[in-house]
Every structure is written in C-alpha cells, then in structure tokens.
Structure 1
C-alpha cells in the first residue's frame, strides 16, 4: 500500500515538474499572447469609434451604426484571441473553438431565424437611399410617414396619427410606393353633369377653375379634361392636373380644394350635378272597377 502511494506521489510530482517546466519554457509565448489580447482590445475600441463615425455619415439610424461598429470590434477581438491561441500552440483548442462556434451559430440561427431576418432587413433598409425617415410611403396595405427604421421594425405614422409597426422583413419583401421621391403629384377628379348641360362650357369652366385655384397650374392647357361616358343620370368626365406635393396629405388637401371650387363655379353658372335618377313610366292605364272595390272593402 505504501509503495503504491509512493509511486502515485512520485508521478504527481513528475507531472507538476513537467507543467512548471512547460510554463517556464512558454513564458515568452504567454507574455506575447497576453500582449496580443491587450492590443486587440485597444484596437477594437479604436475601430469601434472609427466605424461608428463612418457609418453615421451614411446611415441616420443610431442603432444601425452602433451595431455595425460593435460587430467590427468583436471581429477584431476574436481575431486577437485566435492569434493568441496560435502563439501558445493551442491549435487543438483553436479547432475546437471553431467547431463549437459553428454548431452554436447554427443553433442560434435556427432559434432566432425570424429575429435575424428582421435584423438583416433593417440593415439593408437603412442603406437604401430611396427610403428615408420623413418620406411618405405606402406598403403592406398601410400609408404614412416613416418615423423610425431600426433593427427590428419599421414605424409609420398614418394620416389619422396612428402608429403602424411593420417587421423589416415584410418591408423588404413587398412592393413599396414612395410618394416623396418626386416633387409632383397628379390629381384625378371624376364628376358628372346633367344631360342638358353645354359640354363645351363645362370643359372650359372646369379648366379655368383649376387654373385659377392652383398656382402650380400655369394655364388651362395644363389641365387634362376628358368626357368618359354617358351615365345613368349624368355625362361623366375625368379631370387631371399636376401639383407640387410630396405626401398623400397634400394630395388630399388639393383634391378637397378643387372639389369645393368646382362646385362653387358650377352653382354660379347654373350647371347641374345630378343625383342618380330613376324614372318609372306606365304606358297602359289601369282600369279600376268601383263596384268591385266597394264590394272588397265591405267583405273586409
């Protein structure tokens, strides 16, 4: 028993001596590895600041610039860690770390598939020059002003002041109409006048009213006017003209103003905008037998 304990103790001493000897031999590499990690830390902080400033010049969203800057810093630190492990001749540990990182990354990617897709979509949207905060857009059945673009969602403020939060993935995958990309919008009005109206006078009066109402319309020639159909109770027309506008609210205000002024002009000129009318005509005269009617009432 004593011999066994003595042998085990001697083996332990030999192991410890071997480890101490290995540590002493690798002290220069250990110091160099520590210096590499410290240097990578300070370089990562510097890279973080530089990348943040560069990204802020192109992206207005603070969350996006912070995320990109942090990713850059993490890449620098990870590169320093791998370099330090290489200096210490821990290639097996380096391989294990890479394999573990791959497996962990796959598991995290599957678990956070929706979140990551929204995050990457937010990064892509933040770099798109055709979508900026303050633009008036229409997408996914909603229309409003872009209030915020972050790593998770896309926020719109509708005309009724309600906020709509849409996942970034849906914005990227679906069509989007941006009213703010152009400085002009076309207003289209449809109306009808009575069959007794002078159609040439209607056209002239409508064009004059639009030209006098909006400063952007320089002359009557800038107003498009087309009679479109013989309706049930009116002759219908389409009137179109351009205004300076960048949002749907401005377009609605212009349309509202045009309708008011056209109605005033028609009332002054005696032009009728008829209600839907249905005329019932009986060609045969109904003969009523007074005797049979009196008999029916007496029976009741």
Structure 2
C-alpha cells in the first residue's frame, strides 16, 4: 500500500484543524448563549436580547480573525489555498454580522416602542435566509472562483422535489404569508374561524394557535384559516357589539319595553356609554312583540358574563314595570292539561276515548301552525291521551 504523500497529509491536517476551529466556535457560541440568557435576558435587560441576536456572527467572526493572525495562520494553514478560504469566511461572517446588526437594531426599535414587528417570523426568516444565500453565492463565485451554475441547477431540482413532497407544508407557509400580508389578525386579537372562537396567542409558518373561552389551545393550520370565513372582533378597534333578543306581551307599551331594555344595558359598568345602547322593535309575532337590545363592550373575553348580567337586569326591569315575558305555547298547554287533570277532566264514555284521542291527534289544535316546526305536535301524545282521559 502506498503511503500518503506529504502534501496530502498537510491537506487532511488543515481540514482537521478547520473542523476543530468550527467546533470551538460552536462551543463558544453555546457558552455565550447560556451566559446571556441567565445574566441578562432572565432579568429583562434589552442588551441581553441584542447580544443574543448577534452571538452567532460575533463568535464565528472572532474565531476567523484569530485564525487570520499571521503567526497562527502560518503555523496551522501554510498553504495559499486555505488562506483564500479563510479570507472568504472572514468576508462572509463580517457581512453576516452587519446584516444581523441591522436586523437587531430594527427589532429593538419596535420592541422599545411596544410595537409588533411588521413582518411575520416566517417571512422575516425567509428574507434573511435569501440574503445569506445570495452573499454566499457572490463569495463562491467572486472570491473562490467557484461556478454557481451547478448549485443553481441542483437547487431548482431540489426545489421541485421538495415542493412535491411538502405540498401541505408549503400551502401552510404561503397561507400564513397571505394572512400576515393582508393583516387579517394579530397576536392578542379575538377571532372566530369557522366554529372556533378565541384569542390569538401565536402564529407561525405552519399554524395559528388560539385560546378559547375554556382555556383550551386550538391549533388551526394556516391553509384551513385561509379557506374559512374569519371574524375579527378586535378590528378596527376593540369595541364589539352584542345583541340580546327579547319578547314582551302585547299588553306592554313598546316605549316602556324599550326604556327598560336601555336601562338594563346602561346599568352594567362594562357596557360602553359611547356608542349608547340601542333597542328596536323587530316584529309582531303570534304570542308577543319581539325586540332586540344592542350594546357595545371592549372586554370581549367577558362576553358571556356581561350578556348574562344584562339579561338578569332585563328580567328585574320588566318585573318592576309589570311587563310580561310570554312563555312558550307548549308550557301554556302543559299548564292547561295539568289543570284539567286536577279537576277530573271532562267525563267521556270509554268507547269514545280512543276515537276522541285520534281526532285530537289529527286536529291542528295541538300542532304548530307556522315556523320551522309547522305541523308538529306541541305536546306529546301521552299528554294528549291524559287530556282525553
């Protein structure tokens, strides 16, 4: 077996030393990361967040500068080829540092003013990746003289393969970008997507997470959100209108009912005084007049407790004004049947009971005459039979 020549040994040695330098840079990166997390970020220091973003380029840039020191370079990497690689690495990590520095300043500016960054995380990361890849191609072609045409051809083929393999993932990414570009919602907004309602706690390249009223975390893929109807209760402002339908008897003057509804809403502190609560007459129905109370709130998280408080006060306001709330027809008929039963009912001969029961079943007296339940029995057959007996 032929022994390796001295130039080959030197090349392998330089590759090994470069690998050691890379590992050393990674170890320093994680050590600095731990120190920054424990000593600065955990205490809420802005400098910690700033250094955290610059940690990676600074460490690799410093390691490259150390390797560029003449005495170290001549001792470890005597060949001119590896010196060229060090020059390329130095330029790349320096530009990498400048890009991260500008990015850290921009994010810090928004953080200090308690503003959300205008770009979503997925788009922000994609833009940085494209910039780094563009810089790498320039260095490979301009400094090292490596043709990037094979890389571009391979990238196109790889993109096609990955596109076919990750259609669902790419669909979520594109849908997430579309949602953020159109500003459909932001973190902290109360939204409804299909049948799911909650506050947005996080959104990323694949999914959006909302927390519903039962403190459950609902994870919805972005492509599902993009295809559903979205209701944003926090846009354009945090004022949301709630409505309560109410029915009152014909004996109550509409003006008195509307006044009672308005007072009930205005008596709840969490109901906004501007815009003022509103009440309307909706329709004249068979057993009463239908009204609608509309009012606005800002704390949509307490939607149901506020509606419950207003509904409770409506009952008290009606009672004080002797306004009757019509009971359902089925309840009234149940009361009538109960009174007949308590009084012994109407005496009927046994042979006529079954015929009377069949006539009652076929008649329209015990059936709804309008609405979605038109023609259905208001009470059960057993109750009709008791009435017949």
TM-score by length of structure 2 reads 0.55
Match in the other structure for 1:75: 134
Alignment of 1:172-211 (within 5 A): 172-181=226-235, 182-211=237-266
Matched, 1:217 2:273: yes
How many residue pairs were aligned?
253
Match in the other structure for 2:95: 43
Q: Is contact 2:121-2:205 (8 Å) kept?
A: no
1 or 2 for the larger relative contact order (CA 8 Å, sep ≥6)?
1
Q: How many Å apart are 1:272 and its aligned residue? A: 1.4
Structure 2 gap ranges (5+)? 1-78, 111-116, 337-345, 353-389
Secondary structure in 2 matching 1:160? coil
Match in the other structure for 2:106: 54
Match in the other structure for 1:226: 280
Q: Is contact 1:194-1:271 (8 Å) kept?
A: yes
- In 2: Cα distance, 1:125 partner to 1:32 partner: 45
Matched, 1:276 2:328: yes
Structure 1 gap ranges (5+)? 1-26, 294-300
Alignment of 1:87-126 (within 5 A): 87=145, 91=147, 94-126=148-180
Mark the structure with the bigger radius of gyration: 1
Q: Is contact 2:203-2:209 (8 Å) kept?
A: yes
Match in the other structure for 1:4: none
Secondary structure in 1 matching 2:329? coil
Correspondence for 2:315 among 253, 263, 288: 263
Q: Is contact 1:37-1:81 (8 Å) kept?
A: no
Secondary structure in 2 matching 1:180? coil
| RMSD between aligned residues | 3.5
